[in-house]
Every structure is written in C-alpha cells, then in structure tokens.
Amino acid sequence: MEMIEKLIDKNEIRLIDLKYCDLFGRWYHITFPTRRLDKVMSEGIPFDGSSIQGLKSVESGDMVLMPDINTASIDRFSEQPKLSLICSICDADSRLGVKKDPRSVATRAHDYMIKSGIADESLWIPELEFHLFDEAEYYSDKYESGYLLSSSENKESLPPNYEDVDATAQADRKGYHMDIPFDKFAAVRDEIITTFEDLNIKINYHHHEVGLSSQQEIETELLAFPKIADDTMYMKSIIRQIALEYGLTATFMPKPIYNEAGNGMHYHILLKKNGKNIFYKKGGYADLSDEALWFIGGMLKHGRALTALTNPSTNSFKRLLPGFEAPVKLFFGLANRCAAVRIPKYANKEDTKRFEFRTGDAMCNPYLAMSALLMAGIDGIKNKIKPADHNFGPFDDNVFNWPQENQDKLLSIPKSLDEALDALIDDHNFLLQGDVFSKELIDNWVDHKRKEIAKVNNRTHPYEFVLYYNQ
C-alpha cells in the first residue's frame, strides 16, 4: 500500500479504475475516488455478476471485485490522472476467486503446477498479431450485410479519396519486415511498445507482418505466468487505444481478409524448477528433456480440445488453412512452421530452450488459454505421454509435401468451432484436475459458443448471392 500511496501523491491521482475480465476475454471497468482506496482494498467492490456474460445466474448474482495491488499502473489514456488496478472476481461471502473468474483460473493453474512438484515457475512469450486499418465498417441486418476495410499500405484497398500521391502504397508483395516508408505505421508500433515498456511489459521486438494490408506483430520477452495473462489484456487494450489516437482501428480477428495471412497468437513456453530450465537436456532431440517431450505430448494429445479455448471464434478456423503458415496438423518439429508445436532453432541454450504452440489466436481469453495449455502439458508429464507413440513427430520437413496417405495418418485440428467444442466435451478431464477449471465453466463456455455459431450459421452470407442469386 505504501508504494501505491506514494504513486498517488507523486502523480496527484484522484481516481482509481478497476478492471476485470469476463469469461470470454472482454475487459470491464468501474472507477472510484482515491479517498476510498483503503476500504476497497480490504472489502472490494460489490457488483451484479448476473449482468456479465458467463458469470452467474440472477438468483445468485452478488459478487465482489478484489483489486490486486501488484497490478497498479498509471492510466496514460485518461484525461485526469488515474491509477489502474486489475481485479479478481470473488465470492461475496468468502472473498475467494469464483470458479468462473478467468483470472482465478490462471491463479489455480499456477498453484496446481507448483503443488505437482513439476515446476515452480512458467515463462511465456505471446506473439501478438493484428491489423491496423485506416477504416473498418461492418453491418448486418435483414436486408443488407457486408464490411469494408481500407489500408493506405495496399493499392488494392486504399481508403476513399486517398490518392497515394507519394506512391508508397504497395501491391503484389508480402509485407514481412517491410521497411519505412512502406511500413507506414512503424511509429505507431514504436509508441505502443514504449507504452508496454513503461508498464514493465518487456518487448523482444516489433515488425510488419506478412499481410500487406498493415498486419503487425509484437513479441514479448519470456515473462512469468500468470502475470503475463494480465499483461496480454493490457497489451490488447493499449494497441486499440493508441491506434485510435492515430486515426486507425486495430483488430485481432484471426482472418479479417480473405486469402491473406491471418492473425495468430503463438505461445512460447518454458518451465523452471529451482531456477533451472526443466525443458533442456543436452544431447536429446533438439536438446529437449523428457519432461519437454512429455509436455509437448500432452498438448498435442489434447490439442483438438484445446482449440475450443485457444481458437474460440468461428473466424478462427478461417485462418487455420494450409498455405498460410497456420498449423492444421497436430505434430511437432524443429524450426517447422507448419507444425502445431515448433522448436525454435535459435533458442538453443539452457536458459532459452523452449517450444512454441502455434495454433492459438487472440480471440482467446488469455487467462483460460494459457491455463489450458499448462494443464495439458502437466497432464503429459504426469502420464509420460511420448509424442512418437501417437504419431506426433518429431517431423522436420513440410508434411504437406508427403503423400496424401501419410498426411491422413496425422491427427488434424478441428475444421470448425463446432467440431472444437465437440472435442472439448469429449476431452476435458485434464482441465478439472486440482479444481483448476470447473465443469460449470466448461458447460457455460460451450453453451455460449454454440449460440455464437448459430448466430453466424443462421444468417445469409454475402458470397451466397454470388453463388446462388441467379442460379
């Protein structure tokens, strides 16, 4: 508290903003004057959980927001000096994190890992991919439906009345690492990552991604879970707000543009025990330990179910197609970008040895996605799931050059969100271990996502007019 009080006095802060996350990864907030800080820190702030998607029923709606003092930061977007704190959603009686609070799930997953004796620290790198568009319009009702995206970087999608008089808009090329002046929004990314660094979210680098219509990537350093889940929520919010300051709009949709590269959120994972990387063993395949291979085996064995949490939108599965460096087969390999789990060849030292889960995207709730991946890996270690026993590799070549008969022997990720939810229903016991996830949370998740699917499937798609209007 002393540190926060000094921060408040130094910056003349009069308002404190509490943020919390619903089941599906959206942030909410409530603000109070600083004079009430002591009371709120000890008692929390009550709210109606029945009004937040996925939390509670009307009959038992009373919940309490309990702030985490370790998440304190200055809100750089507020007109008045304001302090921001992230909260856990707690039961009104016990003040303990409720079963369906995503942040509490992440805390329980971390505690379960420690109690298992496998590791006492997990470090993660999320790779955030997103688009910055000059304009984004969309609409959908009974008589009209469509969207319009524009990018001043791409000659095929220039904004209305944008004449490209400096001839810097590009065509017929990939945007990967595109240099200035063609990378028009490098300064936007510069401001984004300096804001991250001010919040002690340490960044490896940022660059233009493959998509020519202003696709971006920002990658962090290895950061500790569960704090990195908090950081991911901050990062997504900051990206959106800084984009708006520049007259742009940011989206993390996995596949906003047909036939162009989509946005993933790859996770690099490393576990430590007593300060030592348990995934490193010199001399094994890619210098991986048995624990690393078992962890990978757990992720791949439960990979189909995991996609219901790591790729939880109907749009997610429009990205997961062959030909766009998006994994569609569940196997692992060294430096293999068509693998669901890639072993980075450059991470070849004891303190950096790790692997990358490439399937996920930023539609996920980071608390739930990372917790689920951790639980799958722990299950793999506990049950010594060897990838080779399940035809999960390692495979270091492009499997899509194999004969079709051999490709068909590989386990595929689901082809749709509906199929992913079916997989989660059939395979979720590994999530229930240690009471980390609950059956009620999973049931609510599946029920809500089925309703999303119905909303999409029941509507006429604009391309159906191209196919069928005059048939």
Residue from 117, 147, 121, 120 nearest 135 by CA: 147
Cα 457 to Cα 392: distance, rounded to the nearest angstrom: 33
Q: Which residue among 121, 127, 153, 291 is the active-site one?
A: 127
Q: Is 373 within 8 Å of 366 (Cβ atoms)?
A: no
Token reading at 427:
């395979």
* Single-letter amino acid code for the residue at 152: S
HEC sequence for 246-302: CCCEEECCCCCCCCCCCCCEEEEEEEEECCEECCECCCCHHHECHHHHHHHHHHHHC
356 among known catalytic residues: yes
Q: Which of 5, 9, 38, 48 is catalytic?
A: 48
Collect all residues with Cβ–Cβ distance below 8 Å to 187 and sequence separation of at least 6: none
Q: Are 130 and 215 in contact (CB under 8 A)?
A: yes
Catalytic residue among 358, 361, 379, 428: 358
**For residues 105 and 327, what is the distance between their CA atoms, to the nearest angstrom?**
27
**Given its phi and psi angles, is residue 172 left (phi above 0), alpha (psi -120 to 50 degrees) or beta?**
left
Catalytic-residue membership of 129: yes
State the catalytic residue, choosing from 101, 121, 183, 217: 217
Catalytic, 266? Answer yes
Nearest to 337, CA basis, from 317, 311, 357: 357
The catalytically annotated residue of 22, 75, 101, 209 is 209
Active site residue 219: no
Handedness of CA 86, 91, 92, 96 (dihedral sign): negative
Q: Is 108 a catalytic residue?
A: no
Judged by DSSP in three states, 430 sits in helix
> Terminus-to-terminus CA distance in the chain, angstroms?
70
* Catalytic hit among 356, 361, 379, 428: 356
Catalytic residue among 108, 208, 266, 342: 266
Amino acid making up residue 143:
Y
48 in active site? yes
HSE, CB side, 13 Å, CA atoms: give it for residue 241.
14
Q: Which of the residues 14, 26, 76, 337 is marked catalytic?
A: 337
Any idea what the Cα angle at residue 401 is, between residues 399 and 402, rounded to 5°? 70
103 labelled catalytic: no
Selected catalytic residue, list 22, 91, 121, 129: 129
CB-based contact 377:357 (threshold 8 Å): no
Which sequence positions are flagged as catalytic? 48, 127, 129, 209, 217, 266, 337, 356, 358
